[in-house]
Structure 1
C-alpha cells in the first residue's frame, strides 16, 4: 500500500496513461496523499481544511464567498442559474457549452418564472449589443471550440446593459485571470483547480435573490451543508491549491511547446486561445496507444488538444508529452 501511494508510483501512472483531455488533469501525488477519513459535521480537522479550501477557491475566483457541492461543473451551473438569474437574460453564444447554458436557462424560465425573457448573441458580436438586461450569462473558456471569450469584452457588455455577469468558469478557473469581473461563477474541482473529480463550486459576490423551492437546486442546501458534501475532493484540493502556481506553470509550458510544434496549423490567433486547450486545422494522433486524446462533443476544429497532462510535474515540466503527438495523415 505504501508503494501504491508513493510519488514514484503516481508518476508512473501518469506516464502509463498520457492525457490530452480537458480534465481531470494528470494525477498529482498530493491529491492522493491528502485523503483522510473525514465527515462534514463534528470533524474539526476536516472543517478547518474545508474553510481553507473555500477561502483559496474564492480568491482564485475573485469572489467574496464560495459554496461546494457533490457533482460536476454542470451541477454547479444549474444551481447558479436557478438561484441568481432573473428578469431579462442575455446568453453569449460561443459554442456547445454556451448553448447548453441557453438550454438550462430556458428550462428554468419555464419551471419557476424568475427569468422572464432570454436573448442570445454570438460572442463575436457582443460589442454591438444595446438595450438593458438583468443578467449576462457566458462561458469564459469555450472548450468545444478552444476559444477564449474576452473577459474585458464581457465586462464592458455588462456595464453597457446595466446588469450582472454570471460566468461558466469550468474551463477557465485557475488558469485565466479576470474572474472578478463576474458577480457569480460556477465550476468544478478537476480542471484548472487540479483536484479530484466530484466537487462543484459556486463563487459569488452578490446575493442570490430567487426563492428556489426544490431542495437540490437551492443554494442554501449547500451553503448550510444540508447534504453530504464532496469531502474527499475538498481534502484532495488543499495541498494542490497551496502550490497552485507551480502546477499551473506546467500548463503554461505545455501550451507553449504544443503551439510552437504545431504553429503552422493553429486555428486561432494567440489572443483568442485559452490556456487549457488549442484548436488545430488538422487532425492529431498519438504514437502511444495508451494516450487519451480529447474528443469534443461538438466542434468546428479538426482537433482540440488540452494541456493539463503534466500538471504533476509543475514548473519542472518540459512539454515532453507533446512528443507523443503528430499530425494524422
Structure 2
C-alpha cells in the first residue's frame, strides 16, 4: 500500500539533489510547534525515532541500537569512525568519489592509520580487490565503504565488499548517508558493524541530525575511544539509555518533522516501496534525458536510484550556469558536478517526487536547451572515450 505524494506548496521549486531534498508539506508543518528537549513528550519522540529506524533493519535488528547525533551527515561519519575504529586500529577506506575521500581525510584528522583505495569517478571497489588488500595487510582492522557515492551516482556493491571483509576476519563500517531508507541493508543478508545516515536523505526529513546504527557490542566497546566530547557515540548512547535525553541541545523541530517523515515512509510501504519509486524516477528521467542527447557518466550497471551524473554538452552555446538558471525558473534546482574528467551536472531522484515530476524535468531540460540555442546535447568525444576505457 502506498501513500499519495504531498508535493511542494507556496511555489517552491523541486530540489533535484541528494539532500537536502523536497519534503512534504506535512513534514514542514510539523516544525511549527516548539518542544522542550527535557520534556517527557520529546523523550518519547526520540525513543520512537530510534525504534522506527531499527525496525528498517528487519531480522537481526535486536543486535543493534540507534544513536542519533546532532549535526550534518559528516558529523555522524566522523563520530562513527572515531568511536568504532580503535586508536591503534587501521582502516581500509574505499573511495570512488568525494565522500570516500572525505572519510580518508577524516582519518587523517583523527591521526589514525589507514590505506586509501581510490577507484576514480567511474568504477566501484570490488570484493576481490578488498580480499587481496586484506590478505596483504594483516594490520587492517576495519573496512570503510560508501553505500552510494553521490558525487558520481555509483551504487557500490556492498554485499560483496562485506563478504570479502568478514571472510578475512575484519569489520565493515558503512556510510549509507544517501541510501539508507531506500536500499535494503538487512543485517541478516549483509554483515556490518555500523552504518550512518542522515535525516534529510531517503527518509525525506530536513537537515539537523544524523544517526548511527551499530551493533550493541560495538557500542559497548567504543567507550573512551572518541577524540571528541560532542561526537562520542558511546557517550551519547549511554546517556540516552540512562535518561532518554540527548547529551546536548537536540534539533527538536527537526526530530518532530522526522517522525512525520518516518510515518510517511512506513505508509508508502517501507524501504522496498521507497526504493522502487526512486528507481522509477531514475529510469523515466534517464530515458528522457538520453532522448535529448545527454549521456550519463556511468554505464547502466552502476546507476543508482539516488542521483545521476550527466556530462555537459559539448555544444559551444551550453553554459551550465545558464542551464541551471533556466531550470530553476521552471521549478527545478539541479546540482553541479563534483568530479569527472569533463564538466558534468547531477539530477537527484529522491524526495517528494514521482515519475510524473521527472517527465516534467525532462520537458524543462528540453525547453532550456532550446532557449540556449543548443540543438545537440552530446558530450565531448573524450568523455565517452574515457568512460569506455575505464569501464572495460
Q: TM-score, with normalisation over the residues of structure 1?
A: 0.84
Asked if residue 207 in structure 1 is aligned to residue 221 in structure 2, the reply is no
Compute the displacement of 1:26 (Å).
0.8
User: Which residue in the other structure is 2:365 paired with?
Assistant: 325
User: Is this contact kept in 2: 1:221–1:227, CA < 8 A?
Assistant: no
User: Which residue in the other structure is 1:150 paired with?
Assistant: 157
Asked if residue 253 in structure 1 is aligned to residue 294 in structure 2, the reply is no
Compute the displacement of 1:32 (Å).
2.0
Counterparts in 2 of 1:186 and 1:226: CA distance versus 1, 3 Å: same
Length, aligned pairs only? 312
User: Which residue in the other structure is 1:240 paired with?
Assistant: 261
User: Which residue in the other structure is 1:39 paired with?
Assistant: 36
Asked if residue 198 in structure 1 is aligned to residue 208 in structure 2, the reply is yes
Counterparts in 2 of 1:60 and 1:271: CA distance versus 1, 3 Å: farther
- How far apart, CA to CA, are the structure 1 residues paired with 2:51 and 2:359? 31
1:51-73 deviation line (CA, Å, top 9, x unaligned): 11111222335652111122000
- How far apart, CA to CA, are the structure 1 residues paired with 2:23 and 2:40? 27
Which aligned pairs between 1:28-67 and structure 2 lie closer than 5 A?
28-35=24-31, 36-41=33-38, 43-60=39-56, 63=61, 64-67=64-67
- How far apart, CA to CA, are the structure 2 residues paired with 1:217 and 1:193? 23
Greater Rg over alpha carbons, structure: 2
Compute the displacement of 1:196 (Å).
0.9
Counterparts in 2 of 1:279 and 1:120: CA distance versus 1, 3 Å: same
Q: TM-score, with normalisation over the residues of structure 2?
A: 0.72
1:131-173 deviation line (CA, Å, top 9, x unaligned): 2431100111001111111111211221232111111111111
Which aligned pairs between 1:142-291 and structure 2 lie closer than 5 A?
142-178=149-185, 180=187, 181=190, 182-205=192-215, 206-208=217-219, 209-210=221-222, 211=224, 212=226, 214-223=228-237, 224=239, 225-244=246-265, 246=268, 248=274, 250-263=277-290, 265-283=295-313, 285=323, 287-290=326-329, 291=332
Counterparts in 2 of 1:315 and 1:47: CA distance versus 1, 3 Å: farther
- How far apart, CA to CA, are the structure 1 residues paired with 2:251 and 2:90? 33
- How far apart, CA to CA, are the structure 2 residues paired with 1:126 and 1:254? 29
SS of the residue 1:37 aligns to: coil
What is the aligned-residue RMSD (CA, Å)?
2.7
Counterparts in 2 of 1:317 and 1:54: CA distance versus 1, 3 Å: farther
When structure 1 is superposed on structure 2, of 314-323 and 85-94 the one drifting more is 314-323
Q: Flag structure 2 segments of 5+ consecutive residues without an equivalent.
A: 240-245, 314-319, 375-392
User: Which residue in the other structure is 2:97 paired with?
Assistant: 95
User: Which residue in the other structure is 2:377 paired with?
Assistant: none
User: Which residue in the other structure is 1:4 paired with?
Assistant: none
Compute the displacement of 1:289 (Å).
3.6
- How far apart, CA to CA, are the structure 2 residues paired with 1:158 and 1:293? 36
- How far apart, CA to CA, are the structure 1 residues paired with 2:309 and 2:353? 24
- How far apart, CA to CA, are the structure 2 residues paired with 1:280 and 1:315? 19
User: Is this contact kept in 1: 2:198–2:211, CA < 8 A?
Assistant: yes
- How far apart, CA to CA, are the structure 1 residues paired with 2:193 and 2:282? 29
User: Which residue in the other structure is 1:294 paired with?
Assistant: 335
- How far apart, CA to CA, are the structure 1 residues paired with 2:51 and 2:354? 22
Counterparts in 2 of 1:19 and 1:322: CA distance versus 1, 3 Å: farther
User: Is this contact kept in 2: 1:68–1:229, CA < 8 A?
Assistant: no
1:13-69 deviation line (CA, Å, top 9, x unaligned): 3x542321221121211212323321222x222222221111122233565211112
